[in-house]
Amino acid sequence: MKTKTRVLAAAAMALLVTLSAAAMTATEAIEQRKKQMEGVRDGILVLSAIAKKEQPFDADVVRSNAEKIAGHLEEAAKLFPEGSDTGDAETAAKPEIWADRENFDKIMASSHQAAVELQSVTEQSAFPGALGKLGNTCKSCHDLYKTAQQ
Ligand code: HEC
């Protein structure tokens, strides 16, 4: 009897943990994915400055920022769980993400891939094309799955 009670208590506890994790997930996921996307943007800003020739081309800077972008995209990809279209934080994620999950994941993967390819750019001549390819993936996804913000 004692053991049974303990087992039941453990099961109830496990359920509570699961429920509270699920309840936290939407808001946390929204907050965390926005942070990851901000990290992506920080990397893009550095690379855009190089593309606009405001900063000199430096293969090391390109590689480290492309690495940073790829890392943040990889994290962001994990932060769109089912049910996180709304939460206690503002989100610009459209519900279409979850209706159309396969395509969303595909664009996320192509964006990550473009960031990985950008890491191996050592020639200035190859840089604008590789950055443009990455930039197009941001736009493709945002056009479909992110609400426009003022
Ligand atoms: C596969 C889809 C996808 C890709 C690829 C993607 N994003 Fe996003 N991004 C989103 C979604 C969805 C949001 C809205 C997240 C939210 O508000 O919950 C977002 C939000 C953002 C934000 C706003 C963050 C905030 O604080 O609200 C920035 C900045 C951003 N993305 C930059 C980028 C850049 C730069 C790239 C390309 C290098 C990129 N994103 C690639 C889907 C994507």
Distant-in-sequence, close-in-space partners of 48: CB < 8 Å, separation ≥ 6:
131
20 vs 91 pLDDT, higher one:
91
CA of 30: how far to CAs of 84, 115, 136, in Å? 7, 23, 23
Compute the distance between CA of residue 63 and CA of residue 116 in angstroms, rounded to an integer.
9
C-beta of 146 in contact with ligand 1 (< 6 A) = yes
- Is residue 4 scored above 60 in pLDDT? yes
Residue whose entry in the numeric block shows the structure tokens 């191996």: 120
Q: What is the pLDDT of residues 77-134, one digit of tens each?
A: 999 999 999 999 999 999 999 999 999 999 999 999 999 999 999 999 999 999 999 9
What is the Å distance from ligand 1's center to 66 Cα? 16
Report which protein residue has its CA nearest ligand 1's atom 37.
Answer: 138
C-beta of 47 in contact with ligand 1 (< 6 A) = no
